[in-house]
Amino acid sequence: MFIRKSIKWFIFPLLALIAVATFISGCGGDSPAAPVPANGTGLTGSISIIGSNTVTPLATVWAEDFMNMHPDVSIGVSGPGSGAGIAALINGTTDICQASRTIKQSEIDDARANGIEPYEIQVASDALSVVVNPANPVSELTIPQLSAIYTGKITNWSEVGGNDATIVVLSRDTNSGTHVFFKEHVVQMAGLASEDKSLEYGPKVLFLPSTEEGVSEVARNPNAIFYPGLGYVTDEVKPLAIKKTADDAGVLPSVATALDGTYPIARPLLYYTDGTPTGVIKTFIDYCLSAEGQAEVTEVGYVPLK
């Protein structure tokens, strides 16, 4: 009897607590934590960064450095893809969206409809490398050749001077900014005389959920080709020299060739915020753009702004 009684007294407050907790969590959803002056380093708050898989290694290093300097700030970085990040920005579920492509007009319209004004900040650049297995004899390709490989017109390595083997074409899935950037600048050959906006990835292309998976498949498979950001290139894969057209000289991806503009598929890495950043978010982005922050860019393998 006593036990039954106590259970009853226990259940009702518990239910009340659950109800209240649900209510509170429902209300206080996505408002970014305002910086409250504290005694320590003076900065508190939390920042969520969602977006590009390419920017993730860099953003993680920045976030760790920043949290070491300001122990009361917490930063969460996740990298499902630029498209996912921009969708999160539009839906108001992230403070900063990291992207490896520029935002589309349709996305800006969606954001404005939700009362969000995307504000763009370039934080670094990337040379988009095209990698193959080290056992592959091919060492350079032109952009039209890459386009033909990715649209499925060229299916055998022997057509581009390699072994007689079927090309295993790897790509990121549609969540990825790299997917979209590569489609516009390589598959559709933007900026070249042969540009064709109607080209799409071919049906035999494998769409992978992460950049790491593509790199590890290339490391294992002698006939695979993939396009990771410069920061993901390891010793187990071989980057190809890229030529704009057959007449140009092949250029290998590196920080130097991206900075002097000779590497043909370099792209900006961007942060998007809702309006101009303020408070702790501004302090964080200022750090990313500072000399120390940009030094980390080279360290991680991307291209600093200057």
Partner 1 sequence: MRLKRNVHEADAIAVTAGGLARRWRLGEKLIEGWIYLAGGLAIVVLLGIIILLVKEGMPIFFDTPPWEFFFGTKWYLVSEPPTFGIMPFFVATLWVTVVATAISVPIGVACAAYMSEVAPDKLRETVKPVIELLAGFPSVVMGFIGLMLLSPLVQSAFNLNTGLSGLTAGIMLAFMSLPIIISVSEDAMRAVPDEFRQASYALGATKWETIWHVCIPAALSGITAAVMLGVGRAIGETMTVLMVAGGALAVPVSPTEPMMPMTAAIASGIGNAVRGGLQYQALFAIGLILFVLTLFVNLVADRVLERQKRRFQR
Q: 229 CB contacts (<8 Å, ≥6 apart)?
A: 54, 100, 126, 127, 128, 129, 178, 211, 302
- Binds partner 1 by CB under 8 A, chosen from 117, 200, 248, 299: 200
Considering only residues 71-90, where is the footprint of partner 1 by CB under 8 A?
80-81, 83-84, 87, 90
Cβ 132 to partner 1 shortest distance, Å: 14
Rule CB under 8 A: say whether 26 interacts with partner 1. no
Considering only residues 168-197, where is the footprint of partner 1 by CB under 8 A?
168, 173-175, 179-180, 183
Query: What does the block give as tokens for 83?
Result: 């498209």
Whether 95 and 272 have beta carbons less than 8 Å apart is answered as no
Rule CB under 8 A: say whether 223 interacts with partner 1. yes
- Binds partner 1 by CB under 8 A, chosen from 8, 25, 39, 291: 8
Question: For partner 1, how many residues bind (rule: CB under 8 A)?
Answer: 39
Rule CB under 8 A: say whether 243 interacts with partner 1. no
**Identity of the residue, 223 or 257, whose beta carbon is nearer to partner 1 in the bound complex:** 223
Q: Is 29 exposed, middle or buried (0-12, 13-18, 19+ CB in 10 A)?
A: exposed
**In the chain, how long is the greatest CA-to-CA distance?**
92
Rule CB under 8 A: say whether 213 interacts with partner 1. yes
- Binds partner 1 by CB under 8 A, chosen from 67, 160, 192, 205: 205
Please state, in angstroms and rounded to a whole number, the distance separating the CA atoms of residues 68 and 57: 17
Q: 102 CB contacts (<8 Å, ≥6 apart)?
A: 120, 268, 270
Q: Which residue intervals of the chain are DSSP H helices?
A: 2-27, 56-69, 82-90, 105-113, 143-151, 177-182, 211-220, 255-259, 279-289, 291-300
Rule CB under 8 A: say whether 13 interacts with partner 1. no
Selected range binding partner 1 among 115-123, 198-206, 248-256, 276-284, rule: CB under 8 A: 198-206
**Identity of the residue, 99 or 285, whose beta carbon is nearer to partner 1 in the bound complex:** 99
Cβ 12 to partner 1 shortest distance, Å: 11
- Binds partner 1 by CB under 8 A, chosen from 66, 75, 102, 107: 107
CA distances from 128 to 58, 181, 252, 266, 270 (A): 15, 9, 10, 6, 15
How would you classify residue 230: left for phi > 0, otherwise alpha for psi between -120 and 50, otherwise beta?
alpha
Q: Is 302 exposed, middle or buried (0-12, 13-18, 19+ CB in 10 A)?
A: buried
Please state, in angstroms and rounded to a whole number, the distance separating the CA atoms of residues 286 and 280: 10
Binding mask 134-173 for partner 1 (x = CB under 8 A): -------------------------------xx-x----x
Selected range binding partner 1 among 17-25, 106-114, 236-244, 288-296, rule: CB under 8 A: 106-114
Please state, in angstroms and rounded to a whole number, the distance separating the CA atoms of residues 100 and 103: 9
Rule CB under 8 A: say whether 208 interacts with partner 1. yes
Can you say whether the dihedral through the CA atoms of 135, 140, 145, 151 is positive or negative? positive
Cβ 303 to partner 1 shortest distance, Å: 25
Interaction site with partner 1 (CB under 8 A): 1-2, 4, 8, 80-81, 83-84, 87, 90-91, 106-107, 110, 165-166, 168, 173-175, 179-180, 183, 200-201, 203-209, 213, 216-217, 220-221, 223-224
